[in-house]
Structure 1
Amino acid sequence: MKIPKIKGIIDRRILINYQVDSKVLENYLPKPFKPKLVNGKGIAGICLIRLKEIRPKGLPKQIGISSENGAHRIAVEWTENGKLKEGVYIPRRDTSSKLNSLAGGTIFPGIHNHAKFEVMNLVETTMYRLLVMMRLL
């Protein structure tokens, strides 16, 4: 299936990676993937991304959708045609968009689980707390 060209804005992207025992990661990986090791440890993480004005290319931004999204990721390697390849395996995707969760696996690759995201901007939250402490609000 051909994926349509889309346009929009990546408003925020946070990538958090951490070390995981390779034996633990092996339980989550389908064949032919193996955990990619760095200093003897596997690497897993989550990518949190806010998308805005996402729409098919050529349509106005006013009809675009926005969403908060999370993708759970594992660094992997595999052998293909005798060559070692590496990439990222994504066992789970979450989205605040009902449209994305319904279209996941059809228009958008992979299953997108519908989820609720609560995002706080640290600067705004800190300023609000400061104003409350100063009794200005």
Structure 2
Amino acid sequence: MLSLKNHPFAVETFFESSLVLTYAVPKEQLQTLIPPCLELDTFKDKWGFVAVALVQTKDLRPKGVPKFMGNDFFLAGFRIFVKFNNDRGKRLRGLYILKSETNKRKMSFFGNIFTHYNYTTTDIILNSNKESISISSVKSALDVKVSLSENAALPHGSPFDDWKEARRYAGPLPFTFTYNAVTSEVLIIEGVRESWIPKPVEVIKENVGFLNQMHFQGIQLANAFIIQNIPYYWKKGVIEKWKAQ
């Protein structure tokens, strides 16, 4: 069963929207949350980052399976920005999974069979128009609304000076990592996308129950970006043995 959880096949979908809010947290508070094989992706040697990804997918299915056999799911992911040095000496930027949520039991059931994403099922209400997007959940104590208007301002208190600087920490990143402490193995999952041009959005309100439960001190909303209407797929998982330096 463990081998099944290692993302044994590629998965494809269509992102109708992917809204990501990135929060800056003093790095010391995130260090204990990641395994020893990973290092924090920091800014100015002070801030680490947590991404809250809110994604509406369409026709999600194993890659190569006909589109009509896919399913539409809402996915919420909570991830830490990290780096990993692979066997070829290449440094990969990616995300470490803290928690995942979805709006349908089917996704939670199969997601927990074939991945280590730790899915739970929650309620999601998504409302969108040309001016704004709002996403809420009673069970997850989630209430987010963003404006899609041009000339969005950076969040107040962001550690970034401008959107160009903030763009480097716009999720989701190409790689996702999971660590098996028993076998000292790192599972690497690579996402593949085209025409990936995140658009800055201005946050009108943001209450994220999961982050509130973490009781981070000095947490700041750092940026918010959205992408819409692009195909996306995840490659089959790759496992590497990790040896402590």
TM score, norm. by length of structure 2: 0.44
C-alpha separation in 2, matches of 1:119 and 1:73: 21
Structure 1: runs of 5 or more not aligned: 127-137
Residue among 62, 71, 95 paired with 2:68:
62
Matching residue's letter, 1:96: N
* Identity within the alignment, %: 19
Aligned to 2:26: 21
**Relative to structure 1, is the Cα distance of residues 25 and 53 closer, same or farther in structure 2, using a 3 angstrom cutoff?**
same
Matching residue's letter, 1:102: F
Which contiguous aligned blocks of 4+ residues in structure 1 show a shift greater than 4 angstroms?
78-84
**Relative to structure 1, is the Cα distance of residues 104 and 56 closer, same or farther in structure 2, using a 3 angstrom cutoff?**
closer
Matches within 5 A, 1:26-65: 26-39=31-44, 40-65=46-71
Larger Rg: 1
Structure 2: runs of 5 or more not aligned: 134-245
How many residues are aligned here? 126
Matches within 5 A, 1:57-96: 57-78=63-84, 83=89, 85=91, 86-96=93-103
C-alpha separation in 2, matches of 1:43 and 1:29: 12
Aligned to 2:8: 3
Superposed displacement of residue 55, structure 1: 2.6
Deviates more, 1:37-46 or 1:107-116: 107-116
**Relative to structure 1, is the Cα distance of residues 106 and 84 closer, same or farther in structure 2, using a 3 angstrom cutoff?**
same
**Relative to structure 1, is the Cα distance of residues 60 and 74 closer, same or farther in structure 2, using a 3 angstrom cutoff?**
same
Aligned to 2:104: 97
Q: Which has the higher contact order (CA 8 A, sep 6+)?
A: 2
Superposed displacement of residue 59, structure 1: 4.1
RMSD: 2.8
Aligned to 2:117: 110
